[in-house]
């Protein structure tokens, strides 16, 4: 039984001021304005176009949060802000904060969404703002490079020669899988607006000869193949249940005999309350996608069952499920 929350913790959960202060500083690009040397509020305000008195309050709060320092009237970035929040830094992660800020107004309609059961949006960010979507994918690619090789090794794909990374984004998994298995070639299938980013990341690691790019809508277009392994990583929570069931069934026809479909996602357990991060993510998906949802592992396994797969199993709890196409049938 988890420990009960204290009243102080309940109040702490209710605070969002510091969150919005950080998101706004990222949106106004305060940290880039302070790059290189310390500046007064007036100098910083002239750079970003802000009211000096109001900006001073924001800068003081950022000092209190420990993202800036203040010496006399001069404000400066802390090392973590210099590395991760200044736009031209190679380790800039601000795109992710800009995404959270862009979704802020959707969260403001949470009560209506809960009452009506309908999301306030009609499209997700990859459709409404492909440039922001691609920037976010590039950040996720940089910070998520360890999980791809771990998954590749756990799946023991030594015999596989062809892989389809469906909705492969920056190609993080296709790259990791090809690096772990030298005999493997991959196809990254994604929207045409995302693939320029994929082209860059694949080129960066010199895998152009082994990773092909295929543009299209995975629900409507032909996926090529057949393949020895198809990976769906973090794509199904944007779609409704019937669309996912149809896509999983469609993939079966694109697998070689003894090929497999691997689904990696943010699944909930049977109670819907765990993992804790995913229980909150499910609410995020409710307000920020039109038809998305966080699904139970059992639902994904049912899509496979209905799609004609064999040897269906949960490889990693609430994270990875797999199904095989055992024969040509």
Categorise residue 25: left if φ over 0, alpha if ψ from -120 to 50, beta otherwise. Answer: alpha
Enumerate residues 6+ apart whose C-beta is below 8 A from 147. Answer: none
Nearer to ligand SAM, 34 or 164 (CB): 164
Residues 97-136 touching ligand SAM, rule: CB under 6 A, are 126
Q: Is 168 a binder of ligand SAM (CB under 6 A)?
A: yes
| Interface with ligand SAM (CB under 6 A), residue from 32, 119, 187, 194 | 194
Q: Is 292 a binder of ligand SAM (CB under 6 A)?
A: no
What distance in Å separates the CA atoms of residue 189 and residue 52, rounded to the nearest whole number?
48
Minimum distance from residue 167 beta carbon to ligand SAM (Å):
3
What distance in Å separates the CA atoms of residue 159 and residue 181, rounded to the nearest whole number?
9
C-beta of residue 119 within 8 angstroms of C-beta of residue 159: no
Q: Is 191 a binder of ligand SAM (CB under 6 A)?
A: yes
Q: Is 9 a binder of ligand SAM (CB under 6 A)?
A: no
Enumerate residues 6+ apart whose C-beta is below 8 A from 141. Answer: 169, 170, 171, 172, 201
Nearer to ligand SAM, 73 or 217 (CB): 217
Residues 198-217 touching ligand SAM, rule: CB under 6 A, are 217
Minimum distance from residue 219 beta carbon to ligand SAM (Å):
5
C-alpha 39, offset from chain centre: 35
Q: Which of 159, 158, 166 is nearest to 191 (CA)?
A: 166
Q: Is 316 a binder of ligand SAM (CB under 6 A)?
A: no
Minimum distance from residue 202 beta carbon to ligand SAM (Å):
13
**What residue is closest to ligand SAM based on CB?**
169
Nearer to ligand SAM, 204 or 217 (CB): 217
Nearer to ligand SAM, 228 or 265 (CB): 265
Residues 50-79 touching ligand SAM, rule: CB under 6 A, are none
Q: Is 295 a binder of ligand SAM (CB under 6 A)?
A: no
Q: Which runs of E-coded beta strand occur in the chain?
A: 68-71, 74-77, 162-166, 185-190, 211-215, 227-233, 255-264, 310-316, 320-325
C-beta of residue 128 within 8 angstroms of C-beta of residue 120: no
Enumerate residues 6+ apart whose C-beta is below 8 A from 200. Answer: none
Q: Is 218 a binder of ligand SAM (CB under 6 A)?
A: yes
What distance in Å separates the CA atoms of residue 71 and residue 74, rounded to the nearest whole number?
5
Number of residues that bind ligand SAM (CB under 6 A): 17
Q: Is 235 a binder of ligand SAM (CB under 6 A)?
A: yes
Print burial letters for 221-232: b (CB count within 10 Å at least 16), e (below 16).
Answer: eebebebbbbbb
Nearer to ligand SAM, 9 or 150 (CB): 150
What distance in Å separates the CA atoms of residue 169 and residue 140, rounded to the nearest whole number?
10
Nearer to ligand SAM, 126 or 303 (CB): 126
Minimum distance from residue 242 beta carbon to ligand SAM (Å):
15
Q: What is the contact surface with ligand SAM in residues (CB under 6 A)?
A: 126, 137, 140, 167-169, 172-173, 190-191, 194, 217-219, 233-235
């Amino acid at each position: 039984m988890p420990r009960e929350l204290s009243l102080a913790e309940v109040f702490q959960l209710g605070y969002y001021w510091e969150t919005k202060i950080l998101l706004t500083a990222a949106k106004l690009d305060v940290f880039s304005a302070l790059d290189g040397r310390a500046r007064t509020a007036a100098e910083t305000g002239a750079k970003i176009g802000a009211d000096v008195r109001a900006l001073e309050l924001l800068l003081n709060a950022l000092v209190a949060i420990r993202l800036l320092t203040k010496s006399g009237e001069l404000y400066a970035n802390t090392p973590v802000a210099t590395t991760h929040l200044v736009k031209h830094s190679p380790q800039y992660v601000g795109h992710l904060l800009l995404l959270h800020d862009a979704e802020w107004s959707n969260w403001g309609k949470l009560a209506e969404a809960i009452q009506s059961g309908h999301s306030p949006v009609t499209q997700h960010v990859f459709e409404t703002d492909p440039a922001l979507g691609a920037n976010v994918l590039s950040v996720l690619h940089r910070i998520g490079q360890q999980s791809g090789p771990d998954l590749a090794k756990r799946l023991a794909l030594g015999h596989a020669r062809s892989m389809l990374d469906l909705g492969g984004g920056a190609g993080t998994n296709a790259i990791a899988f090809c690096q772990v298995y030298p005999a493997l070639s991959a196809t990254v299938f994604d929207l045409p607006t995302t693939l320029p980013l994929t082209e860059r990341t694949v080129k960066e690691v010199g895998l152009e000869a082994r990773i092909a790019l295929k543009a299209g809508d995975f629900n409507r277009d032909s996926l090529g193949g057949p393949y020895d392994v198809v990976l769906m990583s973090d794509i199904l929570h944007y779609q409704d249940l019937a669309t996912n069931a149809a896509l999983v069934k469609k993939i079966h026809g694109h697998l070689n005999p003894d090929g497999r479909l691997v689904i990696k996602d943010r699944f909930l357990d049977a109670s819907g309350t765990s993992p804790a991060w995913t229980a909150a993510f499910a609410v995020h998906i409710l307000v920020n996608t039109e038809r998305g949802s966080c699904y139970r592992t059992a639902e994904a396994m049912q899509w496979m069952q209905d799609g004609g797969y064999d040897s269906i199993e949960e490889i990693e709890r609430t994270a990875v499920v797999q199904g095989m196409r055992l024969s040509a049938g």
